[in-house]
Structure 1
Amino acid sequence: MQKTTNKPANIGTYHNDDVLFLLKDLSNIQLEDSTANREVKIQSGVHYSESLPIEYQPPKKYVELFWKTLHEYKQKVALCVGIVAEEIYQLKGKNAVLVSLARAGTPVGILIKRYLNMCYGVSLPHYSISIIRDRGIDSNAIQYILSKHPNGNIQFVDGWTGKGAISIELTKACQDYQQNFGIVLDDTLAVIADPGYCTSLFGTREDFLIPSACLNSTVSGLVSRTVLNGKYIGKGDFHGAKFYHELLADDVSNEFIELICKEFALISEKAAELASKKYSEKIETGFLGMEDVKRIQSEFAIESTHYIKPGVGETTRVLLRRVPWRILMRDPASPFVKHIIMLAEEKGVEVVLYPNLKYLCCGLIKSVKERHE
């Protein structure tokens, strides 16, 4: 195996004790493009990871809604973190190395690390690395982790599942890594919420609002989405990301972490009990959410499932950084979709009542190719 000279990047607003980013700092490079331009390029075959969307800065009322929702459901978030943390510790104990998938997985990895430190007095290593749909995982980052923790047992962490694209990508990446390097990696993805039935390691299968889905980088350490562009990323480099220094005044990343951590003492007993119960059950996966996706694709004559983004987290992303067409909504009265309705109104996107849905909602991306051909 080739020796890596990469080092963790000094980016983001999280403490090094919480997470080390195995990313190449691209902060000084202009990678952003307008949502409209990016959408045309993506739908014309340019990979989404080669550029970045302009970070959406929400209006005051949206931020106020974020905090209101967070305070109402902070204990629910903490309980789901506790359950999945307990499961990880049951399976891997002190040998676990937390590897979160940047960027949605980063705050979740920090919360899991903090929970286990509080409950068991262990400080697990935690790295955040890049995985990109259709491009795989950052093998240089995996190589770095294994060199630092030869006896460690990697546990991949993300925020939530949608239709399972990243779960599938992770499984393929682990198979490729074994084929290339002869090392077996556990491809089970640990998440707070698994409404798509994509993994056996989850806090809940309810499709609910994970607050870190709402605010992009300002609740994720001011780190951008990850970038894999051959102009800036060499063969031996980590995948890249930017540190949005200009948003420091709006950063609430550590405030979010501390707020959830304060709930851990209240939920730890229940989390341990629920995790133990799950440990003795056979947990089915089956990617059941894809049934909804295939039906929606047929019903709305959508060219590709890539244009269908189910679940609260993914629908939020569609509204924040893609060109949305419609939002399908199972229950518009749910408290977990208030911010989605607000964003849809702001952007003039139609919200369609759609009761026959496993998820709370689903974002449909507009096809923009026809206008440019």
Structure 2
Amino acid sequence: MQKAVNKPAKIGSYHDDDVLFLLKDLSEIKLEDSAINRESKIQSGGHYSESLPIEYQPPIEYVDLFWKTLHEYKHKVALCVGIVAEQIYQVKGNNAILVSLARAGTPVGILIKRYIKMRYDVSLPHYSISIIRDRGIDENALYFIRSEHPDGNIQFVDGWTGKGAISMELTKACAYFKQKYGIPLDDTLAVIADPGYCTTLFGTREDFLIPSACLNSTVSGLVSRTVLNEQYIGKDDFHGAKYYRDLLAEDVSNEFIDVISQEFEHVWVEAAAAALQKNHEKIETGFFGMADVKRIQAEFAIESPHYIKPGVGETTRVLLRRIPWKILMRDPSSPFVKHILMLADEKGVEVVSYPNLNYLCCGLIKSVKEMQK
């Protein structure tokens, strides 16, 4: 395996002891494009990772809803984080290396690291690296981690699962890495919520709102989505990202971490017991959400499954970053979809009652070809 030449980028508003970003800093490059231009390029064969969406700046009512939701569900989020952290530590112990998938995985990786530090007084290494659907994981970042921790046991971390595209991408990437370098990696993805039944390592399988899904970079250390554009990323570079310093005044990344962390001591006993039970159970996956996706694709005559994004977290992303067509809603009275209803109303997106859904909701992306007819 080649010697690692890259170093962690000094980007983002998180503390260095919370996470090291293995990303190339592209902050000085104009990568943002309008939603309609990006959607046209993506749907014409371009890749979403080659550019960035313009960061949505929400109205004050939406930010207020974020804070209300955070304080209402901080205990639930802390418990789910605790269950995952306990499972990781019970199995991998001090040998674990937390590797979160930027960017939704980053705050979750920090929370798991904080939990284990507070509970066991052990500070696990934590890196955030890029994985991109259909493009794979950042192998240069993995080189770096392996060179720094040759005996470490990598644990990949993300926020939640939708239909399982990233879980499948990770499994494929780990198999390729082993075939190419003879180095086995554990492809189990640790998440707070697994409504798609895509992994065996989760806090809950309930499709609920993880408050960090509500916002973009301002709850993710002011780091953009990751970028893989050959114009800016060489073969020996880490994948790239931008640091949005201009949003420092709106940044709530560290406050989010602190609010959840303050709940950890109240969930230790319950989390440890739940994790012990899970670690002795046979947990099935099944990717059950794909049945929903296939049915919706046929029913609404949707060209590609990539235009169907199930679950609270993924539906939120559709409204924040893509061109939404419709939102399918199993239960509009659920407290976990208030922000989705607010965003849909703001953007004039139709919300359709759809009771026959494994998830709470599902976001459908508009076909640009249809718009241009």
Q: TM-score, normalization: structure 2?
A: 0.99
Counterpart position of 1:18: 18
Counterpart position of 1:52: 52
Q: Give the CA RMSD over aligned residues.
A: 0.7
**Equivalent residue runs for 1:295-314 within 5 Å:** 295-314=295-314
Distance 1:328 1:371, change over 3 A: closer
Deviation at 1:161, TM superposition (A): 0.1
SS at match of 1:130: strand
Question: 1:73 is matched by which residue type in structure 2?
Answer: Y
Question: 2:345 is matched by which residue type in structure 1?
Answer: E
SS at match of 1:198: coil
Question: 1:3 is matched by which residue type in structure 2?
Answer: K
SS at match of 2:156: strand
State yes or no: 1:232 paired with 2:232: yes
State yes or no: 1:316 paired with 2:316: yes
Q: TM-score, normalization: structure 1?
A: 0.99
Q: Distance in 2 between matches of 1:283 and 1:292?
A: 21
**Equivalent residue runs for 1:134-149 within 5 Å:** 134-149=134-149
Deviation at 1:180, TM superposition (A): 1.1
Counterpart position of 1:27: 27
Counterpart position of 2:36: 36
Deviation at 1:340, TM superposition (A): 0.1
Counterpart position of 1:343: 343
Counterpart position of 2:213: 213
Counterpart position of 2:282: 282
Q: Distance in 2 between matches of 1:305 and 1:93?
A: 39
Unaligned runs of 5+ in 2: none
**Contact 2:4/2:147 (<8 A) preserved:** no
Deviations 1:92-116, CA, capped at 9 Å, x for gaps: 1110000000000000000000000
| % identity of equivalent residues | 80
Deviation at 1:277, TM superposition (A): 1.2
Question: 2:200 is matched by which residue type in structure 1?
Answer: S
SS at match of 1:369: helix
**Equivalent residue runs for 1:39-118 within 5 Å:** 39-118=39-118
Q: Distance in 2 between matches of 1:109 and 1:331?
A: 30
Q: Distance in 2 between matches of 1:169 and 1:162?
A: 13
Q: Distance in 1 between matches of 2:142 and 2:58?
A: 35
Q: Distance in 2 between matches of 1:331 and 1:91?
A: 37
Q: Distance in 1 between matches of 2:370 and 2:179?
A: 41
Question: 1:47 is matched by which residue type in structure 2?
Answer: H
**Contact 1:44/1:369 (<8 A) preserved:** no
Q: Distance in 2 between matches of 1:201 and 1:370?
A: 40
Q: Distance in 2 between matches of 1:371 and 1:35?
A: 13
Deviation at 1:4, TM superposition (A): 2.0
Deviations 1:217-275, CA, capped at 9 Å, x for gaps: 00000000000000000000000000000000000000000000000000111000111
Counterpart position of 1:356: 356
Counterpart position of 1:332: 332
Q: Distance in 2 between matches of 1:239 and 1:42?
A: 19
Q: Distance in 1 between matches of 2:43 and 2:372?
A: 10
Counterpart position of 1:120: 120
Q: Distance in 2 between matches of 1:299 and 1:308?
A: 12
Runs of 4+ in 1 over 6 A off after TM superposition: none
Q: Distance in 1 between matches of 2:279 and 2:150?
A: 27
Q: Distance in 1 between matches of 2:228 and 2:33?
A: 15
Deviation at 1:370, TM superposition (A): 3.9
Q: Distance in 1 between matches of 2:181 and 2:265?
A: 42
Counterpart position of 1:193: 193
Question: 1:112 is matched by which residue type in structure 2?
Answer: I
Deviation at 1:34, TM superposition (A): 0.2
Q: Distance in 2 between matches of 1:91 and 1:193?
A: 20
Deviation at 1:91, TM superposition (A): 1.4
- Number of corresponding residues: 373
Q: Distance in 2 between matches of 1:83 and 1:47?
A: 35
**Contact 1:43/1:368 (<8 A) preserved:** yes
Deviation at 1:372, TM superposition (A): 4.5
Counterpart position of 1:172: 172
Deviation at 1:278, TM superposition (A): 1.1
Question: 1:226 is matched by which residue type in structure 2?
Answer: T
Q: Distance in 1 between matches of 2:144 and 2:362?
A: 37
State yes or no: 1:263 paired with 2:263: yes
Q: Distance in 1 between matches of 2:237 and 2:189?
A: 24
SS at match of 2:27: coil
Question: 2:290 is matched by which residue type in structure 1?
Answer: M
**Contact 1:79/1:264 (<8 A) preserved:** yes
Counterpart position of 1:158: 158
Deviation at 1:5, TM superposition (A): 1.1
Deviations 1:265-295, CA, capped at 9 Å, x for gaps: 0011100011111112110001011111111
Unaligned runs of 5+ in 1: none
**Contact 1:161/1:193 (<8 A) preserved:** yes
Deviation at 1:75, TM superposition (A): 0.2
**Contact 1:9/1:23 (<8 A) preserved:** yes
Counterpart position of 2:4: 4
Deviation at 1:179, TM superposition (A): 1.1
SS at match of 2:68: helix
